[in-house]
């Protein structure tokens, strides 16, 4: 056995210390504690991935802050790393492969998959990536176990020239590309993105790639500046600017063709409808809180014929395209990462991701 192979197989050494790993374990609303937990054991058709980087997603923050799921859990689903063990029957992957892994994959043959509503597929809702406890991503740990359907159809090889940190964007880019597609953004259209955090910036970049002129809004001056530097036509302060008047002035008094909401604030939905032209579209990206209730003027839909659309999670048919957008660096995802934290400082990382300050954008955990 070569020294490299021996190192890769080390998690399965008989040494007791190597049977344990560090993980950020969710222990109840607002509490994530770094603990020692067992290294996941893989079965036939599965692989074990040594996590190199894991981005913090807004969905992770909501689950942790509001206690939407019962503890204990290990969150984190924007995962990249190295294959360190493979079960019998695994053909596509070998020890040492650098990979990015999705955590949901649809069956491909049900009613919803036939209509490309992949995130509504019953199989899609079953998480296939775990570091222990109930499967919930597991990227906030040293190792994750990928189950057979993920191994077969939900992992993508990372090119040698692409960093693990960049690769963590493949899944969020997929979700944003799906949203832009669902909003039917077309060349020559005027699009507004409300919110310019990491997701809002990705939506802006992808809407521009689709050929739209994009205006954005965000209360943080640093994020407005970043938006413009990455290609937004202009970015406005929703607290100081009359955004509806600004957009109408640039659209012959019509309003935007599409408005994408990348902030979880309920009032942003009514704002999006006010910004959209008659017959325009408002797409809700951040409104995935199961307890949230939203009010908006019924006439905006019933009279002005504005559409309210939703987009949730990733689409398997965009898997390769989203990977190439990251790997080719057509999307400057490296510019979105502002903070990196070791696993021992996950509480600080989660706090910053939940309450951004100054120039903070994407926060990444590096176990």
Which tens digits make up the pLDDT trace of 248-297? 999 999 999 999 999 999 999 999 999 999 999 999 999 988 888 999 99
Write phi, then psi, for 325 (nearest 5 degrees).
-60, -35
Instruction: Please tell me whether residues 78 and 146 are part of one structural domain.
Output: yes
* Residue 178 resides in a domain: no
The secondary structure of 153-211 as a DSSP string is HSEEEPPTTS-HHHHTTHHHHHHHHHHHHHTT--TT-EEEEE--SHHHHHHHHHHHHTT
- Region of 106 (left: φ > 0; alpha: ψ -120 to 50; beta: rest) is beta
Average pLDDT in the 227-253 region? Answer: 95
Instruction: Please tell me whether residues 146 and 231 are part of one structural domain.
Output: no
Instruction: Please tell me whether residues 296 and 323 are part of one structural domain.
Output: no
Res 15: pLDDT: 29
Are 131 and 143 contacting, i.e. CB atoms less than 8 angstroms apart? yes
* Residue 176 resides in a domain: no
Beta bridge partners of 146: 47, 129
Instruction: Please tell me whether residues 324 and 302 are part of one structural domain.
Output: no
Instruction: Please tell me whether residues 45 and 166 are part of one structural domain.
Output: yes
Beta bridge partners of 178: none
Res 4: pLDDT: 34
Task: Identify the domain boundary among 310, 328, 346.
Answer: 310
Res 86: pLDDT: 97
Q: Structural domain of residue 23, as residue ranges?
A: 3-171+315-365
Task: Identify the domain boundary among 310, 331, 357.
Answer: 310
* Residue 177 resides in a domain: no
- Where is pLDDT greater, at 69 or 4? 69
Instruction: Please tell me whether residues 252 and 346 are part of one structural domain.
Output: no
* Residue 129 resides in a domain: yes
How many domains is the chain built from? 2
Average pLDDT in the 129-148 region? Answer: 97
Beta bridge partners of 31: 28
* Residue 115 resides in a domain: yes
Residue 120 pLDDT greater than 80, yes or no? yes
Average pLDDT in the 103-117 region? Answer: 97
CATH number for the domain harbouring residue 153: 3.90.180.10
Instruction: Please tell me whether residues 41 and 112 are part of one structural domain.
Output: yes
Task: Identify the domain boundary among 310, 333, 350.
Answer: 310
Instruction: Please tell me whether residues 191 and 62 are part of one structural domain.
Output: no
Instruction: Please tell me whether residues 25 and 161 are part of one structural domain.
Output: yes
Residue 247 pLDDT greater than 60, yes or no? yes
Instruction: Please tell me whether residues 209 and 166 are part of one structural domain.
Output: no
Residue 3 pLDDT greater than 80, yes or no? no
Instruction: Please tell me whether residues 42 and 71 are part of one structural domain.
Output: yes
Provide the mean pLDDT of the chain: 94
Residue 9 pLDDT greater than 60, yes or no? no
What digits encode the pLDDT tens for the residues 180-217?
A: 999 999 999 999 999 999 999 999 999 999 999 999 99
Nearest alpha-carbon partner for 128 in 149, 109, 110: 149
Provide the pLDDT confidence category of residue 13 given band limits of 50, 70 and 90: very low
Share of the chain above pLDDT 70, in %: 95
What digits encode the pLDDT tens for the residues 16-63?
A: 336 999 999 999 999 999 999 999 999 999 999 999 999 999 999 999
Instruction: Please tell me whether residues 23 and 144 are part of one structural domain.
Output: yes
Share of the chain above pLDDT 90, in %: 92
What digits encode the pLDDT tens for the residues 58-101?
A: 999 999 998 889 999 999 999 999 999 999 999 999 999 999 99
Provide the pLDDT confidence category of residue 14 given band limits of 50, 70 and 90: very low
CATH number for the domain harbouring residue 224: 3.40.50.720
Res 291: pLDDT: 83
């Amino acid at each position: 056995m070569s020294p490299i192979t021996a190192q890769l197989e080390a998690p399965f050494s008989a040494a007791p210390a190597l049977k344990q790993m560090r993980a950020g374990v969710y222990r109840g609303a607002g509490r994530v504690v770094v603990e020692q937990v067992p290294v996941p054991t893989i079965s036939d058709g599965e692989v074990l991935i040594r996590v190199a980087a894991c981005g913090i997603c807004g969905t992770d923050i909501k689950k942790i802050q509001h206690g939407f799921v019962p503890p204990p859990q290990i969150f984190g689903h924007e995962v990249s790393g190295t294959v360190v063990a493979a079960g019998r029957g695994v053909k596509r992957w070998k020890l040492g492969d650098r990979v990015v892994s999705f955590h949901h994959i649809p069956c491909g043959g049900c009613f919803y998959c036939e209509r490309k509503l992949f995130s509504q597929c019953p199989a899609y809702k079953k998480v296939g990536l775990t570091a222990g406890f109930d499967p919930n991503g597991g990227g906030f740990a040293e190792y994750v176990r990928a189950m057979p359907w993920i191994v077969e159809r939900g992992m993508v090889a990372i090119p040698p020239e692409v960093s693990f940190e960049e690769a963590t964007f493949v899944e969020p880019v997929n979700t944003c590309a799906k949203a832009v597609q669902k909003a039917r953004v077309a060349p020559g259209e005027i699009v507004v993105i409300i919110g310019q955090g990491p997701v809002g910036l990705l939506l802006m970049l992808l809407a521009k790639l689709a050929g739209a002129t994009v205006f954005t809004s965000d209360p943080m001056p640093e994020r407005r500046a970043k938006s413009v530097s990455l290609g937004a036509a202009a970015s406005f302060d929703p607290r100081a600017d009359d955004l509806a008047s600004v957009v109408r002035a640039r659209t012959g008094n019509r309003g935007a063709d599409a408005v994408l909401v990348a902030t979880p604030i309920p009032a942003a939905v009514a704002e999006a409808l006010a910004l959209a032209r008659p017959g325009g579209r408002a797409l809700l990206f951040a409104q995935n809180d199961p307890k949230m209730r939203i009010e908006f003027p019924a006439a905006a839909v019933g009279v002005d014929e504005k559409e309210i659309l939703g987009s949730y999670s990733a689409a398997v048919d965009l898997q390769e395209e989203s990977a190439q957008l990251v790997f080719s660096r057509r999307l400057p995802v490296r510019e979105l990462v502002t903070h990196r934290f070791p696993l021992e400082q996950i509480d600080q990382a989660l706090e910053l991701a939940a309450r951004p300050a100054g120039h903070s954008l994407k926060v990444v955990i590096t176990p």
